């Protein structure tokens, strides 16, 4: 890989050429990861200090959310560093978020605004991640190893 695809201290100019779309996609993935961490910590604390119906289920749910947060957080870091491998986890995260958003939208509660926000973030992230400019910035080639046209 060239230094243009992976910025180094020797080539600081490469960092400044990161497309805004790539930065926005990384920010949205990081936001999702942070939301999962916050939700997981909340569930964990409430499971340990509150009065849940099932303490072990609350603790397990909290730990699960915290572990699931690793996927979007690692993807966000990879996108910021322009690593081609990061696109896969970023796309998987958004695809997993869509059914969650749908389920939140089916609720008759305050979860509906959360479902709307999650759906908007997931769709916007997908659009940003599959954008040709983002694909080029990550150094991803087209079918047969052919670079996509600029």
Could you tell me the residue ranges of all domains in the chain? 20-141
pTM of the predicted protein model = 0.80
Confidence of residue 42 (pLDDT cuts 50, 70, 90): very high
pLDDT average, residue stretch 93-121: 93
Burial of 51 (0-12, 13-18, 19+ CB in 10 A): exposed
**Closest by Cα among 104, 107, 105, 70 to 90:** 70
Q: Taking the CB of residue 126, how many other CB atoms lie within 10 A of it? A: 19
pLDDT average, residue stretch 89-96: 94
* Tens-digit pLDDT profile for residues 46-57: 988 888 788 889
For the chain, give the percent of residues with pLDDT over 70: 84
């Amino acid at each position: 890989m060239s230094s243009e695809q992976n910025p180094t201290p020797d080539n600081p100019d490469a960092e400044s050429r990161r497309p805004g779309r790539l930065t926005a996609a990384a920010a949205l993935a990081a936001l999702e990861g942070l939301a999962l961490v916050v939700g997981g910590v909340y569930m964990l604390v409430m499971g340990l200090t509150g009065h849940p119906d099932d303490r072990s289920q609350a603790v397990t749910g909290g730990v699960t959310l915290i572990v699931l947060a690793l996927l979007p957080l690692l993807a966000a870091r990879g996108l910021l560093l322009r690593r081609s491998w990061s696109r896969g986890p970023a796309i998987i995260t958004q695809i997993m978020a869509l059914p969650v958003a749908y389920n939140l939208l089916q609720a008759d509660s305050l979860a509906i605004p959360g479902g709307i926000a999650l759906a908007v973030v997931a769709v916007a992230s997908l659009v940003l991640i599959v954008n040709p400019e983002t694909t080029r910035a990550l150094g991803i080639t087209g079918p047969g190893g052919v670079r996509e046209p600029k």
